[in-house]
């Protein structure tokens, strides 16, 4: 690589500034990085999901485990884009199988959980180091940037989780209101039994989409952190300055030669005097040089600044063990006094009493939890729940309703259609409370009542309740009566539904 061709400014930076540079570098090549990552990982994720369709968690774990193999592609793209022209999409994808030949098994086994994974990846992929050479190289690189590389991974893990949860929330918000989605415990049990596998694979796919955005940025930050450490160790910035000076001097060399030759040609010629011999100087001739004088002169020079800087400091120091004075007799006697021992015992009892009281308080505060998960409750018959007599101002008890609800509603329809539809709806609520033992409350809405009916898994009752509730709401809130044919149909359906219910019971 040639430093003069680098697309970024080569200079020492702080580790966090180097990570910021990685984000900017990934943003500059974001289209190539994200597109190559998506074309590489999403088909593989789809294949893994199809092969492990009955085990979405295993498919997710396998895809997550292969991330170090996928990280080699964005590092290859960034390393070429930094000093050369970035590769095309096809060239990058064709190079990926070749990149897997370099220490793939160590990356997927004992190095998989390394928190410095993005920082150490260039050492094995770009430098090709392995074994003791790799360990010595990493020991030097980790001296100032190792902790920052760990924090980069920890922050990246939390950012991945936040983006994943954000996509899940966005998906939930985009579900139409008309589509009723029940996230109750029984639905989760159905999911555990394999009926909602598509939803688990969908959430896994959202995680794969998160990696399309984040993982190239993570690799770029580790790469720029590695480049910054090499800049500090190998003085790349100084090398660039010296190269620029050499280029400037090389450009001025012909001019300097011409000026020098011209000056030499114009200078007058004369007899050159012999050069004096420096060894004939009196400084050396008339000076006695012996080992003793040389040693004393050297010692005198070393005892003076800047080689020797003597300081006089006054501070407290601890005495050596042999210099410590013996304990006074009265202090020894005081420590061995009986009442002091009794005081220590009393403090010990108080401390243990406080521990027992604290444990007892915790057990008492969480006694309901302990009864649920630890203790065994006695099988006591639950008290009979008192059924409500009114719901939303409507009388739903049996005394306020006729025996033949369908026939009574037909008779009332010609004279009082509102009362006739009200009798059907009140009768439906009464049957839900008494026959189906459905827990209805005053705070429930019509929609919540329909939700509870849907949990009964009775299609005929659910269909009839939806039609009757819709027309009851249209009459109660919009003053719109159903047609006579529809009213008669509701009465006939009522008779058929609950007469069959009474016969079967």
**pLDDT for residue 199 is more than 90:** no
Q: Which of 69-78, 430-439, 460-469 shows the lowest mean pLDDT across its residues?
A: 430-439
Q: Which of 45-49, 223-227, 362-366 shows the lowest mean pLDDT across its residues?
A: 362-366
Nearest partner of 121 among 157, 93, 144, 152, judged by Cα: 152
The residues pairing with 391 across neighbouring beta strands, listed in sequence order, are: 394
**Are the C-beta atoms of residues 38 and 84 closer than 8 Å to each other?**
no
pLDDT tens per residue, range 304-325:
777 777 777 666 665 555 555 5
Task: Average the pLDDT over 479-491 and give the result.
Answer: 77
Average pLDDT of the chain? Answer: 77
**Are the C-beta atoms of residues 23 and 220 closer than 8 Å to each other?**
yes
pLDDT tens per residue, range 21-46:
999 999 999 999 999 999 999 999 99
Enumerate long-range contacts of 141-147, CB under 8 Å, 24 or more apart: 141/226, 141/229, 141/230, 141/233, 142/116, 144/15, 144/229, 144/232, 145/15, 145/18, 145/119, 145/225, 145/226, 145/228, 145/229, 146/116, 146/119
The residues pairing with 394 across neighbouring beta strands, listed in sequence order, are: 391
**pLDDT for residue 239 is more than 90:** no
Task: Average the pLDDT over 172-194 and give the result.
Answer: 55
Instruction: Report the percent of the chain where pLDDT is more than 70.
Output: 72
Q: Where are the alpha helices (DSSP H) in 131-235?
A: 131-173, 185-192, 197-234
Instruction: Report the percent of the chain where pLDDT is more than 90.
Output: 25
pLDDT at site 305 = 76
pLDDT at site 74 = 94
Task: Average the pLDDT over 385-389 and give the result.
Answer: 64
**Are the C-beta atoms of residues 117 and 111 closer than 8 Å to each other?**
yes
Q: Cα separation of 342 and 170, whole Å?
A: 67
Of 134-138, 294-298, 438-442, highest mean pLDDT: 134-138
Cα end-to-end distance, the chain, whole Å:
87
């Amino acid at each position: 690589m040639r430093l003069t061709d680098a697309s970024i400014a080569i200079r020492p930076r702080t580790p966090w500034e180097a990570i910021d540079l990685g984000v900017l570098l990934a943003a500059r090549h974001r289209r190539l990085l994200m597109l190559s990552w998506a074309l590489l990982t999403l088909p593989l994720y789809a294949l893994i999901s199809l092969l492990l369709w009955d085990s979405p968690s295993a498919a997710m774990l396998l895809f997550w485990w292969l991330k170090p193999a996928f990280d080699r592609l964005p590092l290859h793209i960034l390393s070429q884009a930094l000093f050369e022209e970035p590769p095309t999409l096809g060239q990058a994808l064709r190079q990926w199988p070749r990149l897997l030949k370099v220490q793939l098994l160590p990356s997927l086994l004992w190095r998989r959980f390394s928190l410095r994974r993005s920082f150490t990846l260039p050492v094995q992929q770009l430098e090709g180091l392995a074994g003791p050479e790799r360990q010595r190289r990493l020991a030097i690189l980790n001296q100032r940037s190792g902790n920052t590389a760990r924090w980069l991974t920890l922050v990246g893990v939390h950012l991945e989780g936040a983006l994943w949860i954000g996509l899940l929330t966005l998906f939930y918000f985009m579900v139409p209101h008309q589509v009723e989605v029940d996230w109750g415990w029984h639905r989760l049990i159905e999911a555990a039994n394999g009926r909602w596998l598509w939803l688990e694979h969908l959430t896994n796919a959202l995680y794969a989409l998160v990696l399309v955005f984040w993982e190239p940025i993570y690799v770029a930050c580790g790469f720029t952190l590695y480049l910054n450490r090499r800049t500090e160790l190998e003085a790349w910035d100084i090398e660039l300055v010296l190269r620029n000076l050499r280029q400037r001097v090389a450009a001025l060399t012909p001019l300097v030669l011409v000026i020098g030759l011209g000056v030499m040609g114009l200078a007058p010629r004369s007899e050159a005097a012999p050069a004096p011999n420096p060894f004939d100087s009196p400084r050396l001739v008339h000076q006695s040089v012996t080992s003793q004088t040389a040693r004393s002169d050297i010692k005198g020079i070393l005892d003076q600044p800047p080689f020797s800087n003597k300081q006089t400091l006054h501070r407290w120091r601890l005495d050596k063990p042999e210099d410590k004075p013996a304990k006074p007799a009265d202090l020894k006697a005081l420590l061995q006094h009986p009442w002091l021992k009794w005081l220590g015992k009393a403090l010990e009892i108080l401390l243990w009493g406080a521990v027992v009281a604290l444990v007892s308080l915790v057990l008492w505060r969480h006694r309901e939890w302990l009864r649920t998960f630890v203790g065994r409750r006695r099988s006591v018959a639950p008290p009979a729940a008192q059924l409500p007599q009114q719901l939303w101002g409507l009388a739903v008890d049996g005394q306020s309703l006729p025996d033949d609800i369908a026939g009574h509603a037909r008779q009332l329809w010609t004279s009082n259609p509102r009362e006739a539809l009200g009798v059907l709806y009140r009768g439906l609520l009464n049957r839900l409370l008494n026959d189906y033992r459905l827990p209805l409350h005053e705070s429930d809405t019509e929609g919540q009542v329909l939700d509870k009916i849907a949990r009964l898994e009775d299609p005929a009752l659910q269909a009839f309740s939806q039609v009757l509730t819709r027309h009851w709401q249209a009459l109660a809130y919009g003053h719109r009566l159903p047609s006579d044919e529809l009213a008669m149909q509701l009465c006939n359906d009522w008779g058929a539904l609950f007469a069959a219910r009474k016969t079967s019971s």
